[in-house]
Each structure stands twice: as structure tokens, then as C-alpha cells.
Structure 1
Amino acid sequence: MLPNDPAGARAAAPASAASPSPLPSSSAPHTAILWCNLGSPDAPTAQAVRPYLSQFLHDHRVVEIPRAVWCLILHGIILRVRPAKSAAKYASIWLPEGSPLKVWTAKQATLLAGWLGERGHRLTVRAAMRYANPSIASQLDALQAEGVARVLVLQAYPQYSATTTASVIDAVAQWTRKQRRLPELRFVNDFHDDPLYIDALAQSVQAHWRRHGRPDQLVMSFHGIPERNIRLGDPYQSQCLTTARLLAERLGLSAQDHRVTFQSRFGRAKWLEPYTEPTLRELGRAKVGRVDVMCPG
């Protein structure tokens, strides 16, 4: 920051000198948090789902197979069949206010801003979606128009994966390539073992147990990714297992009282195991009385 020009120096300036441009305010830079989530179609219809799926499945971080082959499969089969099936599933959970993911992500952004404000941190918090709306680029545009000079990119993914975390960073980087003046940018890559995160999970489980009693088995189901990603260096599986271990310890669960599984397999490739649905069927065959399922990811 430049020092203030003393009055004497200003008086000594030549009369013919051009008036200097006003300097930016010396107040602390306006800081914002960009709270990022995956995304959702704008409506529970095939017409709205198709462009959402197209953007999602075109992301090379999500599907890492040769482009030419994948585009034939995507446009020749998936985008012709999947939108209608997915739209029906979205319609079954759609809220009057809109997509559940968008509704709750926006509420989280509002609550985070309020929580920080109560502690003396006056920050702007904006929710953004990696796919569909409101996009990361549009929210960064809005923050820049408001004079934000520093942005913390915080993602709703506790465990790091290239399919999610790195993809958000890609979207921010793509936005920066079109900007002349960039804000300072910082990223939170993961918080899988943060004590406050583990406490929040434990409190949620304990609140449920107080209302409904403890189960015979707790299944912690994380979103799956292809096993190949782990071999290529993705830390996701290790971080999921760490989260599960810390949560089990916090809840006082033995190894026999809980299981870790992975859901949402897509395609024919081998994904992280054990899969959630077969595990639940196995527990049913074993006559386990009650099973609670939670998703800590």
C-alpha cells in the first residue's frame, strides 16, 4: 500500500501536473466465500436434465476415457435414454422451492454467512454449482462486480477427489483465463478429518439415535468412484476410511457395529467396494434387526 502523500508535497506539485487518479480505498479488502456443490438440473424434466447431464458427463475429470469413444457413447446412447429416467427420479424428490440440492446449498450459504457475522466476520457467502445454475463463473462475476478482492473457494466435498474437488478448481481456473484483474484465490481441498466436521456428523447421528434408538449396525455409505482413480493417485478412498474411523471412535462403535460402503456406481468398470446395495442385502440375509445408513461424504 502506498503511504499517504503529505500535504506539503501536494502543495509543491507543479500546477500543470495532471490530477492523479484516486487510489483504491485503504480499508480491508472485501472477502467472500464461494460455497460450491455439484449441481442439479433446473427442473425435473427430461428437457432440463439432458443439458445438465451433458455438461456433467463431458467433464474429463468425471469420465476419463478417450474423448472420441466416450462422445459416441454419450450422445449415441446415454443422452437419448438417461434424461427421462433421471427426470422421473428427480421429480420424486423435488421440493416446492426447487431442487433439494440447490435449496439446501443456498440455505447453508445463508447460515454460514450468519454464523460468521455473529462472530464479527462480515463476509459475502455465495452458493455456486459446478454444473448447471448458478454456475461458478456467474457467481464469480457477481462477486467481482461487488468489488470482492479475495475469494475462498470452499466445497461441499469433505473428501478430496479429482472427480469433484479438482473439477471445481478447473472451473475457477477457466473463469480466470477470461479476466484481466483477478481476485486473490484460496482453496480448501478437503476437511475429511477436521474435528468440527467429525463432531457435526456425530451430533447428527446421536440426535437421530435419541429419537429412534440405536441400530444393530451403522452403514457409512460414501459416493463411489472408479477403482482406477485410486491407482492413479486419488486420495479419496483413504480419506473416506479416515472419516469413518474417526466417526466410529467418536460414537464409540466397535468394528462389528459399523461398515463402510460405496454407492452410485456408473458403468461397467470396477468401482470402490464394498458396494452399498449388496451389503444391505447381505445384512438382511444375516437377519440383522435394524440398520441405519448415513452418508458422511
Structure 2
Amino acid sequence: MTEPQPRVLPPAQRPAHAPADHPALPAERIGILLANLGTPDGYDYWSMRRYLNEFLSDKRVIDYPSWKWQPLLQTVILAKRPFTSGANYKSIWNEERGESPLMTITRDQTAAIAAAALSRWGDKVLVDFCMRYGNPSTASVVDRMVKAGCTRILFFPLYPQYAGATSATANDQFFRALMRQKRQPASRTVPEYCAHPLYIEALAQSVERVYATLPARPDVLVASYHGMPKRYLMQGDPYHCQCQKTSRLLRERLGWDRGAIDTTFQSVFGPEEWLRPYTVEHVAELARQGRRHIAVVSPAFSADCIETLEEINGEIRESFLHAGGETFTYIPCLNADPAHVTALMAVIGENLAGWV
């Protein structure tokens, strides 16, 4: 996709009835702020260390007491993990743009939504994006939007299913950014959209599009979601239930029988039990059971990233093939697909009700 051109906003003006020494003010508009997880600035050691330190120090992600967790993080994990994570990022890095695929795709999504918003609402709205970890930071983009005249901001974490470690921590960072503003904009946060008909439709179309290119139908479709400690489910986090709901609605839209889609969880970290079944183990078990041809889709990710391009297409693919599997098909995330943009615009429009 072509790199989006920066919006040229009208110059700030002094209010008509204000005294001569009154500062000029930008025209009022509504901000739509898309938010994703984040990305390191590079795959070198120090870029990776900064990124991982911010990510793994988030209490929403790792909720162990600081006195127990931080010494381990700072002395052991951050001494080694930046090297391995950096190598993984290097294998998928967009060298042409000098950024990770998540950054590239998020830019493309933002450009597509900005174009659709301009067509629908004109200059009343301003669309931008931020990252929870890394750059562009939430605080910097909120500040930019306020200076551009956004007196109202719709904050949209791009996570179809709600989780404390994704949606909630993104909202936390947004609220912290608002605390720094002298003139706080009115704000709304977009809730999960895991059951939105147009999101399910976009998912189904992505599956159908890839299946139409295959010589034979896979034996099973694995819907692999990012994992979380099982303890979080027991504490009331709705993520697990919403993942199951997404898989069920996708299966129903595709018109498939029960059992045609397996729901699994990936990216296990640490010693405690996480949501099961684990994707990496489940695909190997499928191969041992004689299910030699599978496809994998990632409904929890709005954009392809390290967890899909490297983990699914690397570690998880290898686990399946090593156990005797023959054909492993990865179905890309929805990314900037027109059906996905349509779904996101529908969610935005519903949440802007009364503002535009």
C-alpha cells in the first residue's frame, strides 16, 4: 500500500470574539486513535531490551510482585531474551521500511481507515495510531491529537477479544496520557468486537479465500489465539470465553459441522499453567492422530506480527511437520483487507454515535 500522505490541517485561528492577545486555537475535531500492542524500534540488543523491559514490566502482563519479578527480569531475562527475540524479529523484519511487519500493517490499516473516515465524515475527524509499548507512544499521539484540535477522542484497541493484558492495559495507557493534558478531551474507549457480524464475515472470507487456492481441503482448521495464564480466567477475565465464541460464530458462518474448528492457545510464558490446549502441542497431536493436513488462523490478532509470522509459521509449523504432518497452511491475519477495514469502520461508526 502507498505510504499515506500527511493531512494538511487548517491553520489555528484566534476566536472571533476573543481579545487580541488570546492564543490561536485549532478547529475542533474528533480524533480516532487506533492502538496496537507495539514493536521494538529495531532488532538489535538495546532496542529489544528497551521494548521487552517496558512490555514485561507491565503489571497487566506479568502480575507478580515487583520485589520478586524485577530482579529476575533485569538480571536474567533481559540479559538473554533480547538476543533470541531479536533474531526472531530479524527473520521477519521489513528491511525496506526499516520496521517490523506489525508497524507496516498498522500504518496501512490507519491509512485505509483515514481514507474511509474522510469520505464519510470529512474534516470532522482525524485518524492516527499508537502503540502500547514502543513507538509511537500513546502519550505522544494523544498530545499531537489534542494540539490538532481534537476535543473528543475515540480510543480503539485493535483486539477483537477483550483481555486485561491487551485491551485493559492499552486503555490504562490512554487514561495516563489524558492525565497529562491541560485541556482533557472527552473520551470513549471501544469495547471488544469479537461477535460483530462484519468481523466474523471478514474472518470467514479470509478462510474461504485461502481454502479456494488449496488442492485439497485441510482435515481441520486450528484457530490459534494468544494465550494467558489460566489463573486470569479464574479471576474473571472474559478472554477465554470470547475466543470460544469467535470460533463458534466463525464455524457457523462457514456452515461447518461441530469439531471442524479447534480452538487453541499459543505463546506460553513462565512456569504456571496457561489456557489449554497449547497450539504447539495440539498440532503435533493432530499429526499423530493422522490429521496430516491442517490450516491455522489467528482470530485474536488484527495484524500479522511476531506471534504469527515467526511463531506460527516457525515453531508451530515445525511441531506439526516433525510429528508427521504433511501440509501446514497459515491463513494471514485480516490486516488491511477491505473486508476488515469495513468491519473496523462499522465498529468505529457505532461508537461515534452522538458525536458525528
The TM-score normalised by the length of structure 2 is: 0.75
Distance in 2, Cα, partners of 1:53 & 1:137: 19
* Aligned-partner residue type, residue 287 of structure 1: G
Matches within 5 A, 1:120-159: 120-122=121-123, 123-159=125-161
Instruction: Check the 8 A contact 1:46/1:86 in 2, yes or no.
Output: no
* Aligned-partner residue type, residue 117 of structure 1: L
Question: RMSD across aligned C-alpha pairs, in angstroms?
Answer: 2.0
- How far does the alpha carbon of each residue in 1:211-245 deviate from its partner, in whole angstroms, 9 at most, with x for none? 12531100000000111111111000011111110
Question: What is the DSSP-based 3-state SS (H/G/I as helix, E as strand, rest coil) of the residue aligned with 1:70?
Answer: helix
Distance in 2, Cα, partners of 1:253 & 1:144: 48
Look up the match of 2:227. 224
Look up the match of 1:73. 72
Distance in 2, Cα, partners of 1:133 & 1:232: 31
* Cα offset, 1:120, TM superposition: 3.7
Q: Which of residues 272, 276, 280 in structure 2 aligns to 1:273?
A: 276
Question: What is the DSSP-based 3-state SS (H/G/I as helix, E as strand, rest coil) of the residue aligned with 2:87?
Answer: helix
Look up the match of 2:100. 99
The percent of aligned pairs where both chains have the same amino acid is 40
* Cα offset, 1:24, TM superposition: 9.5
* Aligned-partner residue type, residue 238 of structure 1: C
Look up the match of 2:49. 50
Look up the match of 1:15. none
Question: What is the DSSP-based 3-state SS (H/G/I as helix, E as strand, rest coil) of the residue aligned with 1:134?
Answer: coil
Distance in 2, Cα, partners of 1:180 & 1:193: 37
Instruction: Check the 8 A contact 2:143/2:181 in 1, yes or no.
Output: no
Closer, same or farther: CA 251–77 of 1 in aligned 2, 3 Å: same
- How far does the alpha carbon of each residue in 1:126-145 deviate from its partner, in whole angstroms, 9 at most, with x for none? 11000000000010011011
Larger Cα-atom Rg = 1
Closer, same or farther: CA 49–23 of 1 in aligned 2, 3 Å: closer
Look up the match of 1:7. none
* Aligned-partner residue type, residue 111 of structure 1: A
Look up the match of 2:119. 118
* Aligned-partner residue type, residue 151 of structure 2: A
* Cα offset, 1:175, TM superposition: 1.3
Matches within 5 A, 1:1-297: 29-95=28-94, 96-97=96-97, 98-122=99-123, 123-212=125-214, 213-297=216-300
- How far does the alpha carbon of each residue in 1:192-224 deviate from its partner, in whole angstroms, 9 at most, with x for none? 101111011111111111112531100000000
* Aligned-partner residue type, residue 268 of structure 1: P
Structure 1 segments unaligned to the other structure (5+ residues) = 1-9, 11-17
The TM-score normalised by the length of structure 1 is: 0.90
Distance in 1, Cα, partners of 2:231 & 2:137: 29
* Aligned-partner residue type, residue 106 of structure 1: R
* Cα offset, 1:104, TM superposition: 0.4
Distance in 1, Cα, partners of 2:184 & 2:53: 29
* Aligned-partner residue type, residue 152 of structure 1: L
Question: What is the DSSP-based 3-state SS (H/G/I as helix, E as strand, rest coil) of the residue aligned with 1:106?
Answer: helix
Question: What is the DSSP-based 3-state SS (H/G/I as helix, E as strand, rest coil) of the residue aligned with 1:234?
Answer: coil
* Aligned-partner residue type, residue 64 of structure 1: D
Runs of 4+ in structure 1 deviating by more than 3 angstroms, as ranges, are: 18-25
Structure 2 segments unaligned to the other structure (5+ residues) = 1-16, 301-356
* Cα offset, 1:118, TM superposition: 2.7
Distance in 1, Cα, partners of 2:127 & 2:206: 24
* Aligned-partner residue type, residue 288 of structure 1: R
